[in-house]
């Protein structure tokens, strides 16, 4: 693997993290030794060790003398870490992963909308509204597709005034991207979807906690149902073979 000549530690961390999330080391539960990684990527042991430490900090691996570097069970992984999420996205997530993302979205986003209805400042409301107007552009095909959609969801988290929800911005962004990856639509956001977003914003602005909550929950729920149907379809297909 070719690694260029700046930020070796960061790059190597990225390469190894990506490889792990792509399941390249899953079979043996064991990674190459420090020495082997160093020679394979042609970096010093120092850089290798620092990359290993970063992955250790994210819960992906652990290392002990004479035992080498071993993969940790997924329950130890920091699945809410920005980098880990990026690697998940690069690892071609399957339908099950999409379902898991949606289940968390269903937990987080309605709650965030309710908090936003309760606590959002004028600035924060304006920011949400701004993403809506950008979405209208996207409907006509302008601008970066679906980015305004993503920003809408993120701006609600921001308006929750809760650092934990705010930290989940990357998570929701990744979840939406995984979703897009499956629905696979290069086309713009539909009129119906746009209207649902407007509704959520209206309730938030009006301070209607419960209604904002419900509005945010409805869409996600129906998406989950769709995915669940698709999964059972696939299961049936596999049984037929």
Partner DNA sequence: AGGTCAATTTTGTATTATAAATACTATTGT
Partner DNA sequence: ACAATAGTATTTATAATACAAAATTGACCT
57 binds a second copy (CB under 8 A): yes
Site for a second copy in 82-121 (CB under 8 A): 82-83, 100-101, 103-104, 106-108, 110-112, 115
Selected binder of a second copy within 31, 43, 55, 71 (CB under 8 A):
55
**Range 57-76, binding DNA (CB under 7 A):** 63-69
135 binds DNA (CB under 7 A): no
* Smallest distance, a second copy to C-beta of residue 174, A: 11
Task: Decide: is 43 part of the binding site for DNA (CB under 7 A).
Answer: yes
Q: Token pair for residue 238?
A: 């596999």
Smallest Cα–Cα separation from 148: which of 161, 139, 157? 139
In the complex with a second copy, the residue whose CB is nearer, 188 or 215, is 215
Applying CB under 7 A, does 47 fall inside the site for DNA? yes
Query: Could you say which of 15, 22, 56, 134 contacts a second copy (CB under 8 A)?
Result: 56
| CB of residue 20 to a second copy, shortest distance in Å | 14
Compose the 12-41 pattern: x for residues touching a second copy by CB under 8 A, - for all others: -x----------------------------
Residue 46's CB is within 10 A of a number of other CB atoms, namely: 11
Closer residue to DNA in complex, CB, 17/93? 17
Kindly list the residues in this chain that would bind DNA in the complex (CB under 7 A). 5-10, 33-35, 43-47, 49-50, 52, 63-69
């Amino acid at each position: 693997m070719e690694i260029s000549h700046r930020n070796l530690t960061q790059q190597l961390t990225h390469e190894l993290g990506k490889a792990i999330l792509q399941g390249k080391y899953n079979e043996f539960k064991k990674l190459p030794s420090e020495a082997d990684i160093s020679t394979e990527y042609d970096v010093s042991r120092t850089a290798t060790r620092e990359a290993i430490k970063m992955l250790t900090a994210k819960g992906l691996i652990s290392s002990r003398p004479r035992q080498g570097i071993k993969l940790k069970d997924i329950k130890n992984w920091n699945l809410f870490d920005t980098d880990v999420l990026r690697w998940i996205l690069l690892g071609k997530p399957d339908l099950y992963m999409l379902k898991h993302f949606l289940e968390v979205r269903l937990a987080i986003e309605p709650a965030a909308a309710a908090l936003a209805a309760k606590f959002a400042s004028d600035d924060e409301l304006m920011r949400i509204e701004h993403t809506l107007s950008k979405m209208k552009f996207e409907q006509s095909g302008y601008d970066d597709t679906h980015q305004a959609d993503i920003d809408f969801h993120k701006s609600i988290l921001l308006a929750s005034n809760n650092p934990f929800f705010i930290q989940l911005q990357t998570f929701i962004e990744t979840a939406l991207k995984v979703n897009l990856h499956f629905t696979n639509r290069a086309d713009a956001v539909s009129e119906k979807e746009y209207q649902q977003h407007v509704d959520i914003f209206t309730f938030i602005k009006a301070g209607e906690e419960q209604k904002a909550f419900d509005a945010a929950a409805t869409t996600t729920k129906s998406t989950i149902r769709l995915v669940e149907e698709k999964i059972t379809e696939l299961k049936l297909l596999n049984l037929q073979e």
